[in-house]
């Protein structure tokens, strides 16, 4: 590693360092900043992620660099937030999780109610569906599709990158932006009745908000940095680059480090090639390459070279063990301590399949971070069980006969009963999603009242009443009424898989499956997998509580196995990695000629330090 400044070495005011996974990019950037600590002028180091910023703070502290007004480390978003506060824009800060949990479900319901005809697949109110919608809103913003003057222009910009129908995304984005200005925390209403603070933003929306602020260029927070260092440059969007460029003066020195093959944020509007090339062309930047990895051995480096198209050399290290596990074998690596292992899948669809596969092997005796119990299809069966029995499946006690119907591996009696409060909260969540379907004809206000009062007994009584009467405004579509009556006529011992298959067809639950992308494939696949598992286990309504309770207990995001998508695993490394549905060449099924798929495989592959297993998919 050079002890000479690259600015001096290349006689350039701008430097682009192109590295690879595990090449010490952040360490190198921190050392370059350290070399200029005694020079006149303020130094700023920017990172895309909070985790990246923490790593930079740790590295610079170890090197003896004191952070102060002259030496600053921040994420791009945090710097934009600081500038907004300086300019008096102090909207409440919400996390993405809070937006998914508190904002989007009601927003989606309101938007869907405004469509006179919905000939497209609308999101369910599941947590996973809301995350997919949030990705769409982020892409719609980052790509500037909302500025397009016609629907055709929006279609051209978005292409096939959206999870949901463009019409729905555009309507949700418009409502979301209005809400970001008018929403307020109830706890922030003063004693006088006036709102003390209105509006909200996520940290990732700060750059956009600041860039469109009337007094953006007057912010003192963004001025007078002589040296600017940018980490994780491969994750920077064109909008963020424009924001950074506004801080680069004629006498500034700027250095960026990144890895072209790590761009997997296409949905976020990131375009690594554009950003890298624009940086080099705009500032006539010198380019430094670091194609040497300290994380893994040459075996992994060779696989990474094929995936990235770059020749990567590796440090002399013990060989990383690479092996395969068939779908019917549980990978022993998943039994390692949580902080040393991760299961990584290509995307949310594949992660859902991986979670089902883990559960099939462990039957709830193993904890992992993916919440299968909140899948829309699981909620639906919970609601149908309550309709037949007036009981929550999470509180049901199985008969000895029902217990004996299951193979060893389930042990409901050995587990403590799920708390009443937890079961009540879970059932409320299930009912809310049930009433969100397009087959429900209630107004938003009526839905809210029914959901608020819902418990298994009242839900059964309410549904019975509306299924039996022939007058008045219907609560459900005719197809759903017939499907629900079919469920009620069935016996508790009847095989559940064919019964549910008939129910879905009669109700038309997946009739518009072809009108959306990943979102529809995600929900339809989860339904097919559930039916397949129920069939293999010989499950009936009588024994469904065993499944429901097992799925509920399997989730633990604090102490359970880390189940991550490639995007979630970026920036992390693990001693042991299980790559789901992959081989030594790519994720499976292969997507020939799709650059983002190769980048995703490259990122997943290069998270490992000691032992890598490829796990074959059941699905």
Residue set of the binding site: 19-26
Q: Which residues of 217-238 are buried (b: 16+ CB within 10 A; e: fewer)?
A: eebebbeebbbbbbbbbbbbbb
Query: In whole angstroms, what is the distance from residue 541 CA to residue 87 CA?
Result: 59
Residue numbers in the known binding site for ATP are: 19-26
Checking phi first, is residue 593 left (phi over 0); if not, alpha (psi -120 to 50) or beta? Answer: left
Phi, psi of 580 (to 5 degrees): -85, 135
Cα(492)–Cα(496) distance, rounded to whole angstroms?
A: 9
Of the candidates 102, 91, 73, 128, the one whose C-alpha atom is nearest the C-alpha of residue 209 is 91
In this structure, the number of other CB atoms found within 10 A of the CB of residue 58 comes to: 12
Helix ranges restricted to H, 436-543: 444-452, 456-468, 478-489, 496-507, 518-537
Evaluate whether 610 touches 575 at the Cβ level (below 8 Å).
yes
544 close to 381: Cβ distance less than 8 angstroms: yes
What pairs with residue 323 in β-bridges?
Answer: 613
CB 548 within 8 Å of CB 315: no
Task: Label the pairing between strands 14-19 and 253-258.
Answer: parallel
Triad 524, 528, 533: Cα angle to 5°: 145
Q: How many helices (H) and strands (E) does the chain have?
A: 25, 15
């Amino acid at each position: 590693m050079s002890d000479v400044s690259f600015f001096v070495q290349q006689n350039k005011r701008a430097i682009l360092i192109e590295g690879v996974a595990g090449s010490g990019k952040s360490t190198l950037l921190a050392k370059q900043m350290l070399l200029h600590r005694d020079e006149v002028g303020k130094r700023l180091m920017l990172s895309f992620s909070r985790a990246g910023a923490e790593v930079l703070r740790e590295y610079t502290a170890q090197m003896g660099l004191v952070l102060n007004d002259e030496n600053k480390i921040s994420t791009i978003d945090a710097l934009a937030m600081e500038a907004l506060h300086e300019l008096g824009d102090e909207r409440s800060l919400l996390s993405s999780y809070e937006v998914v949990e508190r904002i989007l479900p009601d927003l989606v319901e309101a938007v869907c109610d405004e469509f006179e005809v919905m000939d497209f697949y609308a999101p369910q109110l599941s947590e996973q569906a809301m995350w997919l919608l949030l990705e769409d809103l982020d892409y719609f913003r980052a790509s500037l599709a909302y500025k397009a003057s016609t629907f055709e222009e929006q279609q051209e910009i978005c292409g096939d990158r959206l999870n949901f129908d463009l019409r729905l995304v555009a309507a949700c984005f418009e409502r979301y932006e209005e809400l970001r200005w008018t929403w307020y925390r109830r706890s922030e209403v003063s004693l006088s009745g006036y709102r003390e603070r209105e509006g909200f933003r996520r940290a990732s929306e700060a750059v956009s908000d600041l860039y469109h602020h009337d007094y953006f260029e007057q912010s003192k927070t963004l001025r007078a940095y002589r040296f600017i260092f940018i980490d994780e440059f491969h994750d920077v969007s064109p909008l963020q680059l424009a924001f950074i460029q506004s801080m680069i003066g004629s006498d500034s020195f700027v250095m960026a480090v990144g890895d072209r093959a790590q761009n997997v944020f296409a949905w976020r509007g990131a375009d690594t090639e554009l950003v890298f090339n624009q940086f080099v062309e705009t500032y006539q930047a010198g380019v430094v390459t670091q194609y040497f990895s300290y994380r893994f051995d040459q075996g992994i480096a060779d696989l990474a070279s094929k995936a990235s198209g770059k020749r990567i050399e590796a440090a002399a290290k013990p060989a990383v063990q690479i092996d395969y596990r068939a779908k019917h074998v549980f990978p022993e690596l998943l039994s390692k301590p949580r902080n040393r292992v991760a299961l990584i899948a290509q995307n949310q669809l594949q992660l859902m399949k991986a979670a089902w596969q883990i559960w099939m092997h462990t039957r709830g005796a193993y904890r992992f971070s993916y919440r299968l119990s909140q899948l829309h299809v699981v909620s639906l069966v919970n609601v149908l069980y309550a309709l037949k029995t007036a009981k929550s499946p999470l509180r049901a006690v199985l008969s000895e006969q029902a217990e004996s119907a299951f193979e060893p591996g389930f042990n409901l009696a050995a587990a403590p009963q799920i708390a009443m409060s937890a079961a009540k909260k879970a059932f409320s969540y299930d009912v809310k999603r049930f009433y969100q379907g397009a087959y429900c004809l209630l107004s938003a206000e009526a839905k809210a009242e029914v959901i608020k009062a819902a418990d298994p007994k009242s839900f059964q009584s309410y549904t019975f009443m509306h299924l039996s009467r022939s007058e008045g405004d219907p609560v459900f579509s005719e197809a759903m009424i017939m499907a629900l009556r079919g469920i009620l006529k069935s016996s508790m011992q009847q095989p559940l898989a064919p019964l549910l298959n008939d129910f879905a067809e009669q109700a038309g639950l997946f009739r518009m499956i072809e009108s959306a992308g990943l979102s529809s494939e995600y929900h339809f696949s989860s339904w097919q997998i559930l039916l397949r598992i129920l069939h293999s286990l010989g499950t009936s309504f009588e024994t469904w509580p065993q499944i429901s309770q097992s799925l509920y207990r399997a989730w633990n995001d604090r102490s359970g196995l880390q189940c991550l998508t490639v995007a979630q695993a970026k920036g992390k490394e693990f001693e042991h990695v299980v790559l789901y549905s992959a081989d030594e060449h790519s994720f499976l099924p292969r997507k020939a000629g799709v650059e983002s798929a190769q980048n995703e495989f490259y990122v997943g592959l290069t998270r490992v330090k000691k032992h890598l297993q490829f796990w074959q998919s059941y699905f």
